[in-house]
Structure 1
Amino acid sequence: MKNSTRLAAVLVISIAFFCAEIAIGFRTKSLALIADAFHYLNDIVAYLIAFLASHLQEKGYKPSGFTYALHRAELVGGFFNGIFLLALALSIFLQSIERFINIESVKDPLSMLIVGCVGLTLNLISATIVHEHGHGHGHGHGHGHSHASVIPQTDGHAMHNHTRLPPPLDPHGNLGVLAVFIHVLGDAVNNVGVMVAALIMWKTHSPSRFYADPAVSLAISLIIFASAIPLTLKTGRILLEASPIHLNLDSITEDLLASHSVLSIHDLHVWQLSQNVIVASFHVEVPVGTTLNQWEKIEGSLRECMTAYGVSHLTVGPEVATGTSNNVIEGKSKSVCNSLLGCSAAVVGSHDSLRHRGS
């Protein structure tokens, strides 16, 4: 089943339950039900964003101005889902504190219990629908640009740092679907809390029994915080084009300098286009007199090295050490690099700096 189909099914379930829960929540004056209902409303918006992002990506919609198509559509959706959740959690938290100060009785806790049971059942169904993506989508979901399985490691890379790396990325992960799965699991936990609060208010007769309602609401807000913060940080890191957290740029530079005829590396950039596509670019300095045939071998070795780190798209800019002559590589001058936004002509790594680190 496609991502968009799964998300559409979860969206329909959520809309139906939201309408029922918000109505009963206002009738019974239960803050826990109202908080859970507005969590569902936020989920509906989140699911809609994820659905549209997934649908556009599956249809291969490629607007002319987007050279990488819409690889980050679901990331953007996941990021804003996290922001919505954080705002919702803060609102519920403040309302819970207010309800502790001004306690209010809850009418008809039995209806509240029934809503909690129905909600838990629907959320388990939704979780099953979404979670099947991780198992049924596990084989044959690669992308057409990865060369990790095409270029084997040669003996020249046997001692490189990338040979000791764990698997860099989960190629079957999907932060857009993951965001929805987190929403659904959070809702299921919320439903359990609603059921517990309803049972306490229904079966006990202590005047303090109505504190169970804001207590559950407070717990719901903390659960939302706990799920939204990691999601927001993870998607935000990728959108800010930070280097993948499992990669060490010093180790990459060390391996690149170990390649034959590489004098220095500068302007090294490694970032993630999406959760399973890593992109990199750098400039490499080669000796004077390097021919085109020699450069092709050097470039092949560098690409093989970066592929072993999980890089799918690589751009390498060659530069000669000093001077130029016929039939040799002519690279972009460092003065030009220095003027580019975000680029520095400072050498990231050279054999001298490598020896200095080693000592």
Structure 2
Amino acid sequence: MENKLKLSIAIVLNMVIVVLQIIIGLYAHSMALITDAVHNFQDVVSLIIAYIAVLFMAKKPTEKMTFGYLRSEVMAGFINSAFLLGAVFLIIITSVERIFEPVEVESIYLIVMGGIAFVINAFSAWLLGFHHGHDHDHRHEDLNIKAAYLHLLSDAGISLGVVVGGVVIYFYGINWIDPVISILFSLYILKETIPVIKKSYMILMESVPSGIKTEEVKNVILRNPKIVNVHDIHIWALSSKDIYLSAHIVFERKEDLKDFETILTEIESSLKKFGINHITIQPEVKGFRCETVY
């Protein structure tokens, strides 16, 4: 089955969960169901991003969009995460209020809806996980699907927690367990969301990607004895998988320029360990700039 079809099925199934959980959550006065719906909605957006990534992989850069559409995934992730943080804080506030002023929860709806959500999430995760487990081609779209698979797997776990909470309320009548579960789920969502919004923000600000130190990269380039200096070095990412570098390297003698292609190949190879896969180097000679454009 094609990636696009699998993702489409997962998107539709999870959107159905979101709508049902919000409607039934409001009717049953369950903050846990509503929190689960928010988390499921986040994953629907993540699945849509993964779907878009599969579509846009085939698109080549154009005269106007010279970098293609790589950054659209990061922008969507940032906006989605920002709205999600706001929603989670509102849920936590409401849940805290309900701890002190408990509302009777219709536990049977909690159990049934949580069970349905668990089955659908588990099936969606299996659908994407089956592909991942039987395809050893580690292309970019496969990484997207793997991320979507892990999100759905965590959703299945949260939905199972909703069922457990419903069972506790049904047998023991402890209604305050519902907002407590909601707060616990919200804290988990915050834990998962904050790194995403931080990473996407840093990419949008074109900062040096996490795990890469500019000084280390500079030292790797300077290992070549013919290079005496590196300046105007910039390292940034367009997406989580596309890391760019531009720099000026200075040669001791003008005669060294004839070896530029060989040196450039060596630099590209040595920088792969940092994940840098797009490199632009401008050569110069000590004392004056090289007039040749490479």
Preserved CA contact (<8 Å) 2:246 2:279: yes
Cα distance, 1:281 vs structure 2 = 1.1
Residue 172 of structure 2 corresponds to which residue in structure 1?
Answer: 204
Preserved CA contact (<8 Å) 1:138 1:172: no
Change (3 A) 1:97 1:290: same
Preserved CA contact (<8 Å) 2:132 2:146: no
Change (3 A) 1:32 1:93: same
CA offsets 1:58-98 (integer angstroms, 9 cap, x no match): 44164542211112332333333322332222121111011
Cα distance, 1:124 vs structure 2 = 0.9
- Tell me, in whole angstroms, the C-alpha distance in 2 between the residues paired with 1:289 and 1:27: 78
- Tell me, in whole angstroms, the C-alpha distance in 2 between the residues paired with 1:97 and 1:274: 38
Residue 217 of structure 2 corresponds to which residue in structure 1?
Answer: 252
> Aligned to 1:270, what secondary structure does the other structure show?
strand
Which residue type is aligned with residue 34 of structure 2? Answer: I
- Tell me, in whole angstroms, the C-alpha distance in 2 between the residues paired with 1:100 and 1:186: 25
**Is residue 184 from structure 1 mapped to residue 152 from structure 2 by the alignment?**
yes
Which residue type is aligned with residue 188 of structure 1? Answer: A
Residue 87 of structure 1 corresponds to which residue in structure 2?
Answer: 86
Residue 37 of structure 1 corresponds to which residue in structure 2?
Answer: 37
Which residue type is aligned with residue 322 of structure 1? Answer: G
Cα RMSD, aligned residues only: 2.9
**Is residue 114 from structure 1 mapped to residue 112 from structure 2 by the alignment?**
yes
Residue 241 of structure 2 corresponds to which residue in structure 1?
Answer: 276
Aligned-pair identity in percent equals 27
Preserved CA contact (<8 Å) 2:95 2:179: yes
Preserved CA contact (<8 Å) 1:50 1:77: no
Map 1:233-252 → 2, pairs under 5 A: 233-252=198-217
Greater Rg by CA? 1
**Is residue 261 from structure 1 mapped to residue 260 from structure 2 by the alignment?**
no
Cα distance, 1:237 vs structure 2 = 2.9
> Aligned to 1:210, what secondary structure does the other structure show?
coil
> Aligned to 1:173, what secondary structure does the other structure show?
helix
Map 1:116-265 → 2, pairs under 5 A: 116-132=114-130, 134-139=132-137, 141=139, 173-174=143-144, 178=147, 180-181=148-149, 183-205=151-173, 209-265=174-230
Q: Structure 2-normalised TM-score?
A: 0.85
Count the aligned residue pairs. 293
Residue 100 of structure 2 corresponds to which residue in structure 1?
Answer: 101
Show structure 1 runs of 5+ residues with no match: 143-170, 333-359
- Tell me, in whole angstroms, the C-alpha distance in 2 between the residues paired with 1:300 and 1:201: 65
Residue 65 of structure 2 corresponds to which residue in structure 1?
Answer: 66
- Tell me, in whole angstroms, the C-alpha distance in 1 between the residues paired with 2:271 and 2:76: 29
Residue 295 of structure 1 corresponds to which residue in structure 2?
Answer: 260
> Aligned to 1:82, what secondary structure does the other structure show?
helix
Cα distance, 1:266 vs structure 2 = 0.4
Residue 18 of structure 2 corresponds to which residue in structure 1?
Answer: 18
Name the structure where helix makes up a greater proportion of residues: 2
- Tell me, in whole angstroms, the C-alpha distance in 1 between the residues paired with 2:149 and 2:28: 29
Which residue type is aligned with residue 199 of structure 1? Answer: V
- Tell me, in whole angstroms, the C-alpha distance in 2 between the residues paired with 1:119 and 1:210: 21
CA offsets 1:259-307 (integer angstroms, 9 cap, x no match): 1321211011222232223211110111343265243444344334334
Preserved CA contact (<8 Å) 2:245 2:278: yes
> Aligned to 2:212, what secondary structure does the other structure show?
coil
> Aligned to 2:77, what secondary structure does the other structure show?
helix
- Tell me, in whole angstroms, the C-alpha distance in 2 between the residues paired with 1:72 and 1:135: 28
Show structure 2 runs of 5+ residues with no match: none
Moved more, 278-287 or 81-90: 81-90
Moved more, 54-63 or 70-79: 54-63
Cα distance, 1:10 vs structure 2 = 1.2
